[in-house]
Amino acid sequence: MVVGSDISRCPNTPWPTCRGYLRKRTHSGFVKGWRKRWFVLKHDGCLHYYRHKKDEGKCPPLEIIKLEGAEVGIDSSLGKPFVFNCVPQSGNRTFCFYATSNQEMKRWLEAMDKATHPVRQTHVWEDVTLHNSSLPPLAIKNPECLGLLHQLDRSTDMWVQHYCILKDGCLYFYAGIRSTQASGGLYLQGYRVNEQTLSFKQSVIELKPPSEEFKTFYFCAESKAENQRWITALKASIKKWLPLHQAIQDFMNRPLEETRM
């Protein structure tokens, strides 16, 4: 389970597993040969590429290559070093890439090979949260906190209102109290909860991720008292779910008489 992964359509996706410039062989158009493109391999196993680095996040990719089930390997047939191929599972096209060094080629081959053979793990807690996300908000039993929260959309600098339910370290978002299912949610294991004041001097709830790979989220309730109620509930809910290494460390730090079996 990836800490901070999303359970629906609410974006909380970690940074790509690999990104950088590669040259891609082409046989189409007026220019044949090798074209320099900016490639981004995402955690969903899809390889996106753009004309330039600056296009990532601003323009749609020129193409998306699904790597699951693909064949990836070095190609020495062209008599050129640092060349490798990717044949997607559909098998109707071969993509040929050219790296700038052996180290760069190995970096991409390792990342792409992992994407071709994804490891899927199941987790009881994850199954429960997925089930909960399919329920109406009032059908979730014994919520730890509920009510209206406004989430800051950093791309538009606008606040979006959600009806929220907090349960077992997971925050579920609904369009309203009468919604039939969650529109999204956040796994909050490892997140830190703080009260912050943004530029407009408004007190907000900051959810800080355990790693820079993940996004920081900002929420605001209807009043300062409501903010405090949510902060207390969020801290208590997250504290129930310690990362394994932290749980082991806490156990080892306990007095000797308490750790004897």
Q: What is the full DSSP assignment across 65-101?
A: EE-TT-EEEE--TTS-TTEEEEE-TT-S--EEEE-SS
Nearest to 214 by CA among 43, 8, 4: 4
pTM score, whole prediction: 0.53
Q: What is the structure's pLDDT at 255?
A: 67
At 191, phi and psi to the nearest 5? -75, 150
- Collapsing DSSP to helix, strand or coil, 31 comes out as coil
Sequential pLDDT tens for the chain (261 residues): 333 443 433 334 455 679 999 999 987 655 578 999 999 998 888 999 999 999 987 889 999 999 999 999 999 988 889 999 999 987 778 999 999 999 999 999 999 999 998 766 556 667 788 888 999 999 999 999 999 999 988 778 889 999 999 999 899 999 999 999 999 888 888 899 998 887 665 789 999 988 776 788 999 998 889 999 999 999 999 888 765 555 566 666 766 554 444
How does 177-211 read in b/e, with b if 16+ C-beta sit within 10 Å? eebeebbbbbbbbbbebeeeeeeeeeebbbbebee
Residue-level pLDDT at 256: 58
Which residues lie closer than 8 Å to 207 by C-beta, 6 or more apart?
186, 188, 191, 192, 193, 216, 217, 218, 219, 234
- Note the pLDDT of residue 124: 67
CA dist., res. 99 & res. 87, Å (int) = 17
| Structure confidence at residue 153 (pLDDT) | 85
- Token output for 204: 């907000």
Strands 203-208 and 18-26, sheet pairing: unpaired
Domain 19-116 shares a fold with domain 124-243: yes
* Predicted pLDDT of residue 12: 44
Place of tokens 């082409």: 26
Domain map (residue ranges) of the chain: 19-116, 124-243
CATH class of 124-243: mainly beta
In sign, the C-alpha dihedral spanning 240, 223, 216, 138 is positive
pLDDT at residue 7, as a whole number: 40
Span 19-116: which CATH code?
Answer: 2.30.29.30
Exposure of 91 by Cβ count < 10 A (0-12 exposed, 13-18 middle, 19+ buried)? exposed
* The predicted structure's pLDDT at residue 165: 95
Predicted pLDDT of residue 96: 95
Q: Is residue 110 within a helix (H) or strand (E), and if so which, with residue range? A: helix 102-116
